[in-house]
């Protein structure tokens, strides 16, 4: 049986391919958020933290003999550097990002270190599943991550994220109800309302989508 000393995003994707699972199914099997699987596809060089290494070890150990054989073959080709390395192509991923306002504050979440290619503080976000409207994903993922109910006010546009390379769709949202709590402790460290004029203390202004900054400045 092939042994992986240190899992990377690339080898995690190879295991996913060997198990023949979609991003969603792979995330469910590991018990993690689908955005983490998306991150592995976007940045194969990322090294998951220790808890995630253990989850991948367990998934590999529990795999069927056929799946482990497929993984060993893919890993061998990868190590050999052949063009047909078996690395799964990144799926067409879209992420919905919500900029939730409550009076003069905006909602932020703090990701663990290895999530989203090193980004720490972010706006709530989640993968848009096939067939799901981005607005629906925005509201659902915000609730799942933070316990906050919100409503989409308007679209702020879309772009390829400068760090992850994933297609992001941004929405300005209005707070409706709920206490801000860390509802996804596997992926997040904290959830917090911060003054809208202090966002750049938490997120590098160069990585913030300009329409977000403009929208925050409009809210007086």
pLDDT of 79 reads 65
Mean pLDDT of 164-176: 88
Unique residue bearing structure tokens 């905006």: 106
Contacts of residue 87, Cβ cutoff 8 Å, sequence gap at least 6:
10, 13, 14, 17, 44, 74, 78
Report domain extents, the chain: 9-80, 94-218
Neighbours of 179 (CB within 10 A): 8
Angle subtended at Cα 91 by Cα 186 and Cα 210, rounded to the nearest 5 degrees: 75
pLDDT of 118 reads 53
Per-residue pLDDT tens digits for 54-99:
999 999 999 888 888 888 888 877 666 443 444 444 345 788 999 9
CB 27 within 8 A of CB 34: yes
Angle subtended at Cα 32 by Cα 193 and Cα 16, rounded to the nearest 5 degrees: 140
CB 146 within 8 A of CB 22: no
pLDDT of 164 reads 67
Answer yes or no: is pLDDT of 117 > 90.
no
Share of the chain above pLDDT 70, in %: 86
Most confident of 5-9, 32-36, 128-132, 193-197: 193-197
What is 94-218's CATH number? 3.90.79.10
pLDDT of 2 reads 55
- The string of DSSP letters for 60-101 reads HHHS-HHHHHHHHHHHHHHHHT-S---PPPPP--EEEEEEEE
H or E element in which residue 149 lies = strand 149-160
């Amino acid at each position: 049986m092939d042994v992986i000393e240190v899992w990377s995003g690339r080898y995690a994707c190879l295991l996913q391919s060997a198990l023949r699972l979609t991003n969603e199914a792979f995330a469910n099997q590991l018990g993690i958020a689908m955005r983490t699987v998306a991150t592995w596809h976007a940045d194969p060089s990322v090294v998951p933290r220790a808890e995630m290494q253990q989850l991948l070890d367990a998934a590999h150990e529990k795999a069927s003999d056929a799946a482990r054989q497929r993984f060993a073959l893919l890993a061998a080709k990868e190590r050999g550097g052949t063009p047909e390395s078996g690395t799964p192509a990144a799926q067409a991923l879209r992420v919905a990002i919500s900029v939730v306002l409550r009076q003069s504050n905006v909602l932020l979440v703090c990701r663990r270190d290895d999530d989203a290619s090193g980004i720490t503080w972010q706006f709530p976000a989640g993968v848009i599943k096939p067939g799901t409207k981005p607005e629906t994903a925005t509201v659902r993922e915000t609730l799942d991550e933070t316990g906050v109910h919100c409503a989409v006010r308007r679209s702020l546009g879309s772009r390829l994220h400068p760090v992850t390379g994933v297609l992001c769709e941004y929405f300005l949202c209005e707070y409706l109800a709920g206490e801000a709590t860390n509802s996804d402790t596997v992926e997040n460290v904290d959830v917090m309302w911060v003054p809208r004029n202090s966002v750049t203390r938490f997120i590098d202004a160069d990585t913030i989508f300009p329409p977000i900054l403009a929208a925050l400045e409009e809210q007086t």
